[in-house]
Amino acid sequence: MAVSTERKLFLGARLKRMRRDLGVTQTRMAEDLGVSPSYLNLLERNQRPVTAQVLLRLAEAYDFDLKTLSQDPESSSANGLGEVFSDQMFRDLGIARHELTEVADSAPAVSEAIMRLYRAYLDQRSMTDLGAIGRPEEGGLVQSVTTPSDWVRDFIQAQKNYFAELEAVAETLTSELGCEPQDFAVAARERLSSRHGIQVRVVPVEVLPESVRRFDHHRRRLFLSEVLTGAGRSFALAYQLSMIEHGALLDAIIERAGPPDRPTSNLLKVSLGNYLAAAMLMPYAAFHEAAELTGYDIELMRARFGVSFEQACHRLTTLARPAMRGVPFFMLRVDSAGNISKRFAGATFPFSRFGGTCPRWNIHSSFRTPGRIVTQVVETPDGQRYFTLSRTVSRIATPYAGEDSELAVGMGCELKYAERLVYSRAINLREPVVTGIGPACRICERPACPQRAAEPINRTLMVDDFTKSISPYPFAPS
């Protein structure tokens, strides 16, 4: 019986990206899959469908979850391109969404290059507006490189926010410590002292007025500020162990990653050190088991492992071990002005590449209920639904006269996973109350949005003096 054409899988761009992420040639992958290089080339060019046998060989040869191929890894690239081409300078081109999707699917590296150029353009424009550099016609220099934070974030996301090498050494170290999670700080202090001759001191805020941790290489002393919470001090100790005992491994990963300059390399090392520290405090197997047993109750999990709410949330986005996967979460951290300072995902979510989050997502309203978890079911313009939860966090103890350090953390997963979460038990997941959210206003086409900040770039603004609409920028339907 003939197989329906609709069932054929054309995954060329995803296969090509997977091969490049693995760092293998077409010839090598063809050998691993038991096919000819010419046949693999046809698969990557979407001139042949991917068969079930090839999928099974992929999973066996490279130890990955087949579900990842059913997701659309280029959707974020298409969304990013959508933001780029929503700029006023492209208004007359009328580029359709399906064209952007085709480019993102067939040429992901080109899509990324376009987004990097646009980001450099925005940086240039911002610096010019602030007077930091002159205008190009006045001899100002064009900033044409990706910022270190952008590069590091993109690199970590390309690894799906999971590093098997770091997980392995973290589990070995915590096994050697042989302590309960709540006793990690005591065991880590002892190891730093006995094995490395490093003494740990908690000092008054006046001693470290502009930092919370400082390592004195010469005197072998680690100074921690008194404003750090207990979870913060434990994390600082784990970070120091990461650098002292596994600095060579971190350097090897960085060398393979090939960051473009020294500042980016330094930031990547700190980020990888933070990942390893979290893996020490929350060993993968034990943390995954606790997550499943508690229904992903973050408060219970953070108490069990002696970590902060934010640390537990961040760790949940890394549960991507092929044989022991957790719920694929995404996570954002924002300040009260909406600036994003942390963004990680173990799953797809249409993050804005060049702007903030949609104001209809209640991560912003969580500032009105500090310390309380608020939930919400949101729907993106493509019909995808996500279960989200948000809560404010404070990373350090803030003196009465000090500046407010409160931030908000937003977590979420696809709605199909929500039944595994303790937070969804009082919600009718079959017929939930859903809030429509969108990407940047310039490319969001949701009508009658009272929080819209600009009209969509590809729609005509419809304002007259006879009617006042609910949206400040009403626009004509397509």
pLDDT, tens digit (0-9, with 9 covering 90-100), for 412-469: 999 999 999 999 998 999 999 999 887 777 777 778 888 887 777 667 788 877 777 8
Distances (CA, A) of 401 to 232, 246, 335, 375, 398: 21, 39, 19, 32, 8
Query: What is the per-residue pLDDT for 303?
Result: 95
455 and 473 Cβ atoms separated by less than 8 Å: yes
Query: What is the per-residue pLDDT for 4?
Result: 43
pLDDT band at residue 2 under the 50/70/90 scheme: very low
In DSSP notation, 71-107 reads: S-TTHHHHHHHHHHTTSGGGGGG---HHHHHHHHHH-
Q: Greater confidence, 99 or 347?
A: 99
Residue ranges of the alpha helices (H) in 91-205? 97-106, 108-129, 148-158, 164-177, 184-196
Query: What is the per-residue pLDDT for 130?
Result: 47
Query: What is the per-residue pLDDT for 245?
Result: 96
Residue linked to tokens 């590091």? 152
Q: Is the pLDDT of residue 57 over 90?
A: no
Tokens of 33: 């899959």
Query: What is the per-residue pLDDT for 451?
Result: 80
Query: What is the per-residue pLDDT for 467?
Result: 79
Q: For residue 375, what are the β-bridge partners? A: 389
How many Cα neighbours within 13 Å face the side chain of 476?
Answer: 8
Mean pLDDT of 387-391: 94
Percent of residues, the chain, with pLDDT higher than 70: 84
CA distance 387 to 421: 10
Q: Using one digit for the tens of pLDDT, what is the confidence trace for 123-170? A: 666 555 544 444 555 444 444 456 888 889 888 988 888 999 999 999
Structural domains of the chain, with CATH? 5-70 (1.10.260.40), 80-145 (no CATH), 445-478 (no CATH)
Query: What is the per-residue pLDDT for 1?
Result: 40
Q: Using one digit for the tens of pLDDT, what is the confidence trace for 6-51? A: 457 777 777 887 787 777 888 888 888 889 988 988 888 888 888 8
Tokens of 311: 């640390």
Query: What is the per-residue pLDDT for 74?
Result: 47
Q: What are phi and psi of 97, to 5 degrees?
A: -60, -40
Q: Greater confidence, 78 or 60?
A: 60
Q: Greater confidence, 144 or 192?
A: 192
CA distance 184 to 267: 26
Query: What is the per-residue pLDDT for 6?
Result: 47
Q: Is the pLDDT of residue 243 over 90?
A: yes
Q: Using one digit for the tens of pLDDT, what is the confidence trace for 67-125? A: 655 544 445 677 777 777 777 677 667 777 777 777 777 677 787 778 778 777 776 66
Q: Greater confidence, 245 or 210?
A: 245
Which pTM does this prediction carry? 0.74
Which segments within 146-279 are labelled E, that is strand? 199-203, 213-216, 221-225
